[in-house]
Homo-oligomer: A and B are copies of this chain.
Amino acid sequence: MREVTVTFEPEGKKVKVPISSTIFYAIKEAGLNIRSECGGKGICGKCRVIIKDSEAVNRVTDTEKRHLSRSEINLGYRLACQTTILKDIVVMIPEESRIDVRKIVATGLERRVKVDPSVKKLHLKLPRPTLEDNRPDFERLAEAISKKTKKALLEIDYQVLKELPSILRAANWDVTVTLDGAKIIAVEPGDSSMNMFGFAVDIGTSKIVGHLVNLTNGKTIAIESIENPQIIHGEDIMTRITFAMASNKNLSLLKKLVVDGINRILSKACESAGINSNNVYKLVVVGNTAMHHFFLEIQPKYLALSPYTPAIKRPVTVLNRKIGINANKGSTTTVLPIIAGFVGADAVADVLATEIHKSEEISLLIDIGTNTEIFLGNKNDMICCSCASGPAFEGGHIKHGMKAVTGAIEKIRISPNFEVKYETIGKVKPKGLCGSAVLDAVAEMLKNRIIDKHGVFKQNIKTKRLRKEKKEKRFVIAWGKETATGKEIVITQRDINEIQLAKAAIYTGCSILMKRKGIKTAEIDKVYIAGAFGSYLNLENAKIIGLIPNIPAEKIRLVGNTAVVGAKMALLSKKKMKEAEEISKRIRYLELANDPDFGQEFARALLFPELKGLQKF
């Protein structure tokens, strides 16, 4: 019987199944899990997946049409148990269908902000029109607002204007008006002035995180996250950009997928907080430059080609009803500004959240991801760069690497007699290694001199954990009998090289920025390490492999998802929104590829630091 290959994202796991198998069957065969209450009979509608190519499966069945909306079907949603596979295919199991939950870093260092959002509500009792006072509805409303706010000139959303006469009369002239800046974006009956919410979103390449906040007091009332559903069209940014370059239809699909993702977490957040999404009047979104372009449906082709030019730097505000976000219909989304082609709105938000741009102290900010953004400087001057650190720290390109989900080894210690201790997410039998574990493994092998400063396995190590297979040396972290799959989990020579490339990229970024600013390691007052990976990092091990400069631990802070925090600050405060613009304008971007020292620095950085003195910059 002919077989087809099914690739599951975000794991990247592949499995071969007989043609015409259901996706549900393939999931089980791949050793993955999916929610299901009916066991695959099409009754519960829980086993939702996203498929990449509708040509590779059967047509959407009537059963599925009962569980999926037309727009979901257009985005590629199917029920796993109803979908039979006809060709090789890529399938994504979205967050909502998962049993194993990924550790998504959804929060970060929070700074206090004075709550003063662009959105305001005013409760007004208007005089009823008479023949003596028959001012038009808009002017009656605008004059009442101006009287309260002492500000003239108001705009009104066109949809709100169209309904204004009916709303005012149905409400008996007792209304609550929502303003965004000088624009009337909503008019509601009665006093709803305490129901005013906003949503701050970080669109990551692999995950989307949203914070629902009360705009009257600044409190975060719900946090939700989801895998970025765009993953079905490529786990990494370049694959997605290539997909978007093929056609505007593809670009539009990527945009709709991310909007769909935002809508899902927004609706979950509203539900868990017990509020109505019509009372969400503002979104602030951040993301790297590619996510920024996808979200705004701007062709990202020129981001990917030299000289890597983005379409727009400054903040962009779009009407939610126009782009399909299910919030209040007069509300907008503001996408924070970017700095350069590879330093996006998420990095601007990192700066905003850490406030390094306002400090006298010299700060180094590193947001580690597939692309790592680095900032160095203080309030007088700051420069930044971006380095292609690759997916190794997220478990990518690593033989037994995996994302930080249940079953991933997240911490490793190797003793001088080469014995290995590890901890697994969810305390279950291990399935693979997540980024922090790979970093631990490399650091521990260095400490125990299993590898040398070139990252090469030494010759004279006496342990059966180290052996050669298919001409490649490998070190066993977990024996087959210990693991969930019954197979060994190892670190290979190539895995070590991947870590070297990744840490060298980041190291080179730091060292070139320091050179350009003439700052020595000892002069750095604060180091902020942001990003999901940074939250689980073993700092000592990071220094041992030379990922971060050798700076005393008390100067270093792991700050988590500062991108969403920065977005939230801009959502809560007009002043912070303005600061984001200043950050975007003032911070100088250094194109590493242009730097004459780049090649040499990078070559040097590939080496692991000598253990005694640790890494020296």
Question: Footprint of B on A, CB under 8 Å?
Answer: 129-139, 156, 158, 161-162, 164-166, 169, 296-299, 301-302, 306-314, 316, 318, 322, 338, 340-341, 591, 593-594
Q: Cα distance A169–B299 when bound, in Å?
A: 12
Chain B residue contacts of A139, Cβ below 8 A: 312-314
Closest to A313 in B: B136
Instruction: Indicate if the CB atoms of A161 and B313 lie closer than 8 Å.
Output: no
The answer to whether B138 and A322 have CB atoms under 8 Å apart is no
Query: A309 CA to B134 CA in the complex, in Å?
Result: 6
> Given A298-B162, A302-B165, A591–B137 Cβ distance below 8 Å?
no
Expressed in whole angstroms, the Cα–Cα distance for A129 and B305 within the complex equals 11
Residues of B within 8 A of A137 (CB): 302, 309-312
Distance from A10 Cβ to chain B, minimum over Cβ atoms (Å): 28
Distance to closest chain B CB from A67 (angstroms): 31
Residues of B within 8 A of A322 (CB): 158
Q: For the complex, give the distance between the alpha carbons of A593 and B296 in Å.
A: 54
Most buried by B among A301, A312, A314, A316: A312
CB contact between A136 and one of B129, B133, B301, B311 (< 8 Å): that residue: B311
A591 touches B312 (CB 8 A): no
Are A340's CB and B301's CB within 8 A?
Answer: no
Cross-chain contact B132 with A309 (CB below 8 angstroms): no
Check A298 against B161 for contact (C-beta < 8 Å). Answer: yes
Q: Within 8 Å CB of A306, what residues of B?
A: 131
Q: Shortest CB–CB separation between residue A226 and chain B, in angstroms?
A: 25
Nearest residue (CB) in B for A293 is B165
Shortest Cβ distance from A312 into B: residue:
B138
A131 touches B313 (CB 8 A): no
Q: Which of B132, B133, B296 contacts A162 (CB 8 A)?
A: B296
Q: Which of B129, B162, B309 is A297 in contact with, Cβ under 8 Å? A: B162
Whether A158 contacts B318 by the Cβ 8 Å rule is: yes
Q: Is the CB of A594 within 8 A of B161?
A: no
With A169-B302, A299-B166, A302-B169 in contact, do A311 and B161 touch (Cβ < 8 Å)? Answer: yes
Complex CA–CA separation, A75 to B298 (angstroms)? 35
**Judging by beta carbons under 8 Å apart, are A129 and B161 in contact?**
no
Q: Which chain B residue lies CB-closest to A139? A: B313
Point out which of A137, A309, A341 has the most chain B C-beta atoms below 10 A from its C-beta: A309
Contacts of A313 in B (CB 8 A): 135-136, 138-139
Contact status B136-A310, CB under 8 Å: yes
- CA distance in complex: A16, B591 (Å): 82
Q: What are 13 A-B residue pairs whose CB atoms fall within 8 Å in the complex?
A: A129-B307, A131-B308, A131-B594, A132-B594, A134-B309, A136-B312, A137-B312, A156-B312, A161-B296, A161-B311, A162-B296, A165-B298, A169-B302
> Would B298 and A593 count as touching, CB distance under 8 A?
no
Contact of A129 among B156, B309, B316, B594 (CB under 8 A): B309
Please, which residues of chain B bring their CB within 8 A of the CB of A161?
A: 296, 298, 311-312, 316
Chain B residues whose CB sits within 8 angstroms of the CB of A132 once the complex forms: 594
Alpha-carbon distance A313/B136, docked complex (angstroms):
6
Q: Nearest Cβ distance between residue A595 and chain B, in whole angstroms?
A: 11
Shortest beta-carbon distance, A284 to chain B, in Å? 17
**Minimum distance in angstroms from A248 CB to a CB of chain B:** 9
Query: Which B residues touch A318, using CB under 8 A?
Result: 158
Shortest C-beta distance, A133 to chain B (Å), equals 8
Q: Return chain B residues, CB-CB under 8 Å to A314.
A: 138-139
Q: Are B311 and A131 in contact (CB under 8 A)?
A: no
Query: Which single residue of chain B is at the shortest CB-CB distance from A169?
Result: B302
Which chain B residues lie closer than 8 Å to A166 at the CB level?
299
